[in-house]
Structure 1
Amino acid sequence: MLNIADTLHRWCREERPFALATVVGVTGSAPLPVGTSVAVDEDGNAIGSISGGCVEGAVYELSRQVLHDRGGPQRAWFGYSDDDAFAVGLTCGGELDVFVQRVDPAAQPHLGAALAEAVEGRPAAVAQVVDGPEGLLGATVSVLGDSWIADSTLGDGPTGRAVADRTTAQLRTGRTALLTLGSDADTCPEKFSVLVHAAATRPRMLIFGAIDFAAALAQAGRFLGYHVTVCDARPVFATEARFPHADEVVVDWPHRYLEGTAVDARTAVCVLTHDAKFDIPLLRLALNLPVGYVGAMGSRRTHDERLRRLREVGVADGQLARLRSPIGLDLGACTPEETAISITAEIIGDSNQSSGLPLTRVTGPIHRVSGAA
């Protein structure tokens, strides 16, 4: 749903009914993750993609049927077709489970409010019942800040509150996921599955050191959806003109800025300063914070000296094991732009707990599956 939030927000504002087809399960190799959606309005306009093209036609026709028949939601399964490469199927070898429902924005105004928050970059989530008792299928709950709103199917009773509580918890992780609820006399005696579309605030990339490599990394980080901050204690170098792709440029001592700014498990800290008087107090602090990634630029000789200095100021080996130094993957990068790709590739692999090896050297599915919780 969030992959087409802009258009869905506009359709909700116009109170335009539409069919929403969403990937709720993936097996094997599939091009797009759970939570990806296609929408079709009453005029036949379609937005989004769930398969990179190979099953879009069948999903479009099913969406039109669900929209115009005004019946209940439907599930469809698409798998690999051995007999006919042009038949409906995923030639990449994966399998998709797709949930299609009719959405009437006039009857579910909270959806428009949640989508508006997501479009503006503020945290919001929409929970969608995709499996379970027939009477619950397609029911939705929206979480906005500290409040939640359910449609009439769930209401504000125990079931609605249970969905809202789990959705709120999932929103804190910033990840869309399929959750299982129910089997509880106080909420719902039957199990049901809820797909939570979580639109968290942008993760942060903190780049320390106002150098050319930082400018390229800021551009790459912004492209990947990070809120990018460049920080350096030298005002002559830390200027907005030198870093047009950064969301903010801060003149401050790196460790002092890091000590006073908000971070979380999605934050990437990239130290490019090459100066021990900045690096050591900064890394000592960063390795004690609950951030997702800490990397530092420098040669292997610089790295060895850096480790010695960090041990001298009391950083334990367990904390040092978190440090990615020298920063980045071994791509043979030389230019600032190539180095930025090397660093962001390592951040992506680290956040996904992937090996960083060439796909030709690993086995199993290419695309990781978003697991149910």
Structure 2
Amino acid sequence: MRDIADRLAAWNDAGTRYAVATVVAVRGSAPRPPGAALAVSADGEAAGSVSGGCVETAVYDLCREALATGRVLRETFGYSDDDAFAVGLTCGGTIEVWVRPGPVPGPALAPDGHAAVVWLLDGSIVVVRSDGHTGTTGRADVDRAVVAEARAMLGLGRTGQASVHCRDGVRTDAAETDTAETDAVEMFVHSHAPPPRLLVYGAIDHAAALARQGALLGYRVTVCDARPVFATRARFPDADEVIVDWPHRHLAAEAERGALDGRTVVCVLTHDPKFDVPLLRAALRLPVAYVGALGSRRTHRDRLARLRDAGLADRDLARLRAPIGLDLGARTPQETAVAIAAEFTAARHGGTALPLGQINGPIHHDRPAPAGAA
């Protein structure tokens, strides 16, 4: 919804009535992720998209219906021989859409920092942050359950559907509740978090290509090297920041200030023991998503021996992706950057890294991204 927040805010300011359709679930090869939104104003103007064009007309009509009736609507669009061309979702996937008559409150349109926007089937909207929340469902016990669940999903960076059960003001495990005595509350949680971080250590030509690839994928990219002659903004224009510091010291400082999370990617390109051994010793003990190191197989064998001598156990070393990257036959720095990015992308989403033509099953993985994919 971020991409249409400005338009919705303008409609709010003008007093324009509108309805918003939000993708709350995706299965299979659907074109837009959960959180994609289409808004339609009372005068027929549309903003946003839920399917890249496939089911826009049908969802547009649902928005018009929600505006006319004032009701929250729920619809699923999927592929079948009967409805594929009638509806237009020919990509083979399924999307579930919730449609809510507006207005969307201001706090939901501008979540800053870590925030989760919670949409409920009754039309309520709650914005949850680590230090509190705005909005209400109208019941204090439901608010507590909704906020607790949303805060947990925000901590993981998860966007998707969830449900909570309340009994006598206490949240309970859905598997243990008597449905006759509980209220089941369905909701969609859209987590907003800062971009995931890509930390590239070693100011070499491969780092410049990897910084460009990381920026393309939406990462906040940091390039760090202890040599000021190489770690310059001119050499790394695609990085968000270029740091002159010893790599292990920089990583320790980032961990100390809480700037790393379960989405963070650490790529060690120095292939120099005085840099990469202390750096990897620290990185492999941090709860980050991916740690990879550049170098030949001979370099890697030597590196493993040095890391064992430095006190790392086999369980720590098993996390190290080295030689870094997938086997693409890469030779140039640009090709190597693609191979590295492909590997940490597969790790993030649970991909097999095999050719799609050689495997069966869904193209898109339903496993949620760790700690925040927004």
Q: TM-score, with normalisation over the residues of structure 1?
A: 0.89
My pick for the range that moved more, 271-280 or 44-53, is 44-53
Match of 2:125 in 1: 140
SS at match of 1:93: coil
- Is residue 329 of structure 1 aligned with residue 331 of structure 2? no
Partner of 1:133: none
Task: Give the C-alpha shift of residue 162 in structure 1.
Answer: 2.0
Within 2, Cα distance between the matches of 1:279 and 1:104? 53
Aligned to 1:256: 249
- Aligned residue number for residue 215 of structure 1: 208
d(CA) in 1 for partners of 2:4 and 2:344? 26
Structure 1: gaps of 5 or more residues: 131-136
Match of 2:116 among 112, 119, 125: 125
Asked whether 1:341 is paired with 2:338, we answer yes
Aligned twin of 1:44: 44
C-alpha distance in structure 2 between counterparts of 1:78 and 1:256, whole Å: 51
Q: Aligned AA for 2:107?
A: A
Structure 1 residues 289 and 15 mapped into 2: Cα distance closer, same or farther (>3 Å)?
A: farther
Q: Is the 8 A contact 1:150 1:156 kept in 2?
A: no
- Partner residue of 2:236? 243
Contact 2:142-2:166 within 8 A present in 1 as well: no
2:300 counterpart of 1:303: yes
Q: Distance in 2 between matches of 1:365 and 1:92?
A: 12
Other-structure match for 2:157:
174
Question: In the alignment, residue 217 of structure 1 is paired with which amino acid?
Answer: L
Contact 1:206/1:228 (CA < 8 Å) preserved in 2? Answer: yes
Whichever residue aligns with residue 203 of structure 1, its letter is P
The 1:33/1:323 distance shift into structure 2, 3 A limit, reads: same
Select the residue among 180, 193, 196 that pairs with 1:200: 193
8 Å CA contact retained: 1:34, 1:370: no
Equivalent residue of 1:191, what SS? Answer: strand
Q: Closer, same or farther in 2 for the Cα pair 1:183/1:21, shift >3 Å?
A: same
SS at the partner of 2:89?
A: coil
* Inter-CA distance 349–355: structure 2 relative to 1 (3 Å threshold): same
**Aligned pair in 2 of structure 1 residues 139, 187: CA closer, same or farther (>3 Å)?**
farther
In the alignment, what sits opposite 2:357? 360
**Structure 2: tracts of 5 or more residues without a match:** 172-181, 369-374
Whole-Å Cα distance in 1 between the matches of residues 34 and 270 of structure 2? 39
- Secondary structure of 2:363's partner? coil
Mapped pair 1:115 → 2:114: no
Give 1:354 shift: 1.4
Cα offset, 1:370, TM superposition: 6.1
| Partner Cα separation in structure 2 for residue 39 and residue 358 of structure 1 | 37
CA separation of 1:9 and 1:296: change in aligned 2, threshold 3 A: farther
| Distance (whole Å) between structure 2 residues aligned to residue 270 and residue 195 of structure 1 | 34
Distance 2:14 2:336 in 1: 45
Residues 81 and 88 in structure 1, CA contact (< 8 A), matched pair in contact too: no
Corresponding residue for residue 61 of structure 1: 61
Shift of 1:342: 1.2
Match of 2:226 in 1: 233
CA distance in 2, matches of 1:8, 1:307: 54
Q: CA deviation at 1:145?
A: 4.5
Identical aligned residues as a percent: 55
* Greater mean deviation of Cα atoms: 208-217 or 176-185: 176-185
TM-score relative to the length of structure 2? 0.89
SS in 2 for 1:349: helix
Stretch deviating more after TM superposition (258-267 or 7-16): 7-16
2:140·2:169 contact (CA, 8 Å) conserved in 1?
Answer: no
- After superposition, the Cα gap between the structure-2 partners of 1:7 and 1:293, relative to the gap in structure 1 and judged at 3 Å, is farther
Deviation digits for residues 76-101 of structure 1, max 9, x if unmatched?
A: 12121314652114222222221111
1:163 equivalent in alignment to 2:162: no
Judge conservation of contact 1:172–1:200 (CA < 8 Å) in 2: no
Q: Name the residue aligned to 1:80.
A: 79
Cα offsets for 1:251-310 (capped at 9, x unmatched): 110001111113111110000112110010000110011111000011111111111111
Report the equivalent of 1:30: 30
Change (3 A) 1:8 1:269: farther
Q: 1:221 to 1:16 in 2, by over 3 A?
A: farther
**Which residue number corresponds to residue 150 of structure 1?**
135
- Root-mean-square deviation (CA, aligned residues, Å) is 2.0
Tell me which of 269, 275, 285 is aligned to 1:272: 269
Pair 1:186-2:169 in alignment? yes
Q: CA 1:199–1:233 in structure 2 vs 1: closer, same or farther (change >3 Å)?
A: same
Question: Equivalent residue for 2:96?
Answer: 97
Mapped partners of 1:13, 1:242: distance in 2: 45
**Partner SS for 1:77:** strand
Q: How many angstroms apart in 1 are the aligned matches of 2:312 and 2:275? A: 16
Equivalent pairs counted in the alignment come to: 354
Distance of 1:103 and 1:370 partners within structure 2: 31
